[in-house]
Structure 1
Amino acid sequence: MAVLIALAATLTSALLTVSVTPTAAAERPSRSKPSVGSATENAAVPAAIPDPTTASLEATNGPLATATYTVPNPNGYGSGTITYPTAGGSYPGVVLMPGYQGTQQNLQWLAPRLASWGFVVINVGTLTLGDDPASRGRQISAAGTQLLSLGSAIGNPIYGKVNGTLGAAGHSMGGGGVMVALRDDSRFKAGVPLAPYNPSQNFSGVTDPTFFMTCQSDPVAHANTYALPWYNSMSRAEKLFVEVPGDHLCPMTGYGNKAKQGKWMVSFFSRWLYGDTRFSPFLCGAAREADKNNPSLVTRWQDTCPF
């Protein structure tokens, strides 16, 4: 209870303003890795997505025009706004989940950024502002179910646009919810928990690619307590762990370096929801080195590269 009170005080104060040494990386997954650049890997990538560059990935919007659609009757979660590419073709779906006392505003910056790189993104609000991580995990699954259903509904704006592959990103308790969805719902194939919070949980069984982005000065969900132990326990998953300067709110709208954060998240989801190896260099290759070796941008970095 004391932790939740502290969390509420920290988030409420910041939202009003806006309106240990890491252990060694966990054992490399034993499963075979696809060859970089193989035709099979990139087969599902829409032709409209050009070769990525540092400049294009750090821009506010990607190459595709987007539109939005408000879900009229959310089923199993509080509210939903879908941002999707207007170009023809089908795309992976991504669920965005806010943190404790948060709303869709928390990750509003991320929805058009992902959609403009070829994802159908549903940014959700929770049933109640105080929903715990387990509830948020179930709501991520519910939002994924409805996203797939709407994509199959003739006459809906996203009809035919969702290809059946799902991913999720979430902040704080929403990040804890992402871990629940990855563990408990096999439809989710990649996740990005942002400053994740979920006490007394075991995620060692998660095998899907997971990108933990955490905040160096986080007083609520420090990486040493949550993200890093989870990262180190997940011995069968491809993983990325990046810690950046800032407090618990560093991934939220209005905080942190969104050019860099957006580049990493677009690259991660593109690599693992499309299998698009063109994005690998921004996470594992030479194109990432300027980020990884800049202490004003990245304070810790671990990975299971190459991927």
Structure 2
Amino acid sequence: MHQHPQHSAPARASRPSPHRADRPRARRFTGALAAIAATVGLGTLAVPGAQAADNPYERGPAPTNASIEASRGPYAVSETTVSRLAVSEFGGGTIYYPTSTSDGTFGAVVVSPGYTGTQSSIAWLGPRLASQGFVVFTIDTLSTLDQPDSRGRQLLAALDHLTERSSVRGRIDGSRLGVMGHSMGGGGSLEAAKSRPALQAAIPLTPWNLDKSWPEISTPTLIVGADGDSVASVASHAEPFYESLPASLDRAYLELNNANHFAPNSSNTTIAKYSVSWLKRFIDNDTRYEQFLCPLPRPSLTIEEYRGNCPHGS
């Protein structure tokens, strides 16, 4: 086990919500309606959307430990494919999305496979994350041998396709986007976050990159390593990546116990649980999921160690 003291970094400055300035007005409006209701003897008047005004991005029922560990969340999922022949900046892929449109738009995440890998190696993340209330795009890269910088560019190109040209673009809130990736795709997710600070979340999974230092990143980042990784050992990849992130950033390091480099290539409850919580917390600004991230998770049968800052500031 890599012994490092858990620490509390200063909370990152909150990014302004486009709805935050409207909250006092919403409260005054709600109060005025309640007063009118009392005056005319209507009792308690339900104000549609009054509660949602506190966080218009919140999606789905209140989470429980069981719900974030479940193989499927509350949303039924549909999928559509993007042919490699229809795009030129990445290798096509599969889009998984909540079937229902009754809750409005959703945040979106693009996931890249690793070196020599195809989208099939990270396909399990598509329906699992989408069923929790995200549009998820698992992609193929232009070449299975593409390096992290290229995979980073392809992740961003896939996000642009998803939000601007895909058949599900109307279901997506283009201001609520994130990236994930395995191995060199994980290194690519760091490259993407560095290139596009507007991203709301990044989750590199057992990441590999020759660049070990990422002080430029301002996107909330959860790095997942594996104690038995002999391809991208945590000592030379995941740990220095995490330590190089700004101390003021909302960041976390999850090291899987008794796991290897390829743990993200098959269904993994621990990866899913904390990925869902991280994406919900930072893409949807859903503080209902803070309970699973703070206080910091303790070592267990599946967690070798967990480091990060608490509470989160975004």
1:265 aligns with 2:281: no
Q: Which runs of 5+ in 2 are unaligned?
A: 16-22, 24-51
1:21 aligns with 2
1:299 to 300, 304, 314: 304
**What's the CA shift string for 1:106-160, capped at 9, x where partnerless?**
1111111111111111100010110001110010011011011135xxxx3x141
Q: Are the equivalent residues in 1 in contact too, given 2:11–2:310 (CA < 8 A)? A: no
Give the CA deviation at 1:23.
Answer: 4.2
Per the alignment, do residues 183 and 56 of structure 1 end up closer, same or farther by CA in structure 2, a change over 3 Å counting? same
SS class of match (1:180): helix
Distance 1:203 1:293 in 2: 26
What pairs up with 1:128-167 in 2 under 5 angstroms?
Answer: 128-150=143-165, 156=167, 158-164=168-174, 165-167=176-178
Any residues of structure 2 matched to 1:2-21 within 5 Å, and which? 21=2
* 1:203-218 matches, cutoff 5 A: 203-218=214-229
Percentage identity across paired residues of the two chains? 36
Q: Is the 8 A contact 2:299 2:306 kept in 1?
A: no
The residue number in structure 2 matching 1:185 is: 196
Give, in whole Å, the separation in 1 of the partners of 2:278 and 2:54.
14
Corresponding residue SS for 1:160: helix
Q: 1:51 aligns with which of 62, 87, 97?
A: 62
Tell whether 2:257 aligns with 1:242.
no
Q: Encode CA deviations 1:46-68: one digit per residue, 9 max, x unaligned.
A: 3xx00011111111110001100
8 Å CA contact 2:228, 2:259 repeated in 1: yes
Q: In the alignment, what sits opposite 2:99?
A: 86
Aligned partners of 1:67 and 1:83 also within 8 Å: yes
Q: 1:267: Cα distance to partner?
A: 0.7
| Secondary structure of residue in 2 paired with 1:178 | helix
C-alpha contact 1:111 1:123 (8 A) present in aligned 2: yes
Q: TM-score normalised to the size of structure 1?
A: 0.82
| Residues 236-264 of structure 1, C-alpha deviations (whole Å, 9 max, x = no match) | 3101111112111111125xxx2222111
Question: Aligned residue for 2:239?
Answer: 228
Question: How many residue pairs were aligned?
Answer: 270
Following the alignment from structure 1 to structure 2, what is the Cα–Cα distance between the partners of residues 70 and 150?
Answer: 13
RMSD: 2.0
- Deviation at residue 26 of structure 1 after TM alignment: 6.8
> Could you tell me the TM-score, scaled by structure 2's length?
0.81
CA shift for structure 1 position 27: 6.8
Residue 204 of structure 1: CA displacement? 1.0
Rate the CA distance shift 1:190–1:212 in 2: closer, same or farther, 3 A. same
Q: What residue in structure 2 maps to residue 97 of structure 1?
A: 112
> SS where residue 299 of structure 1 aligns?
strand
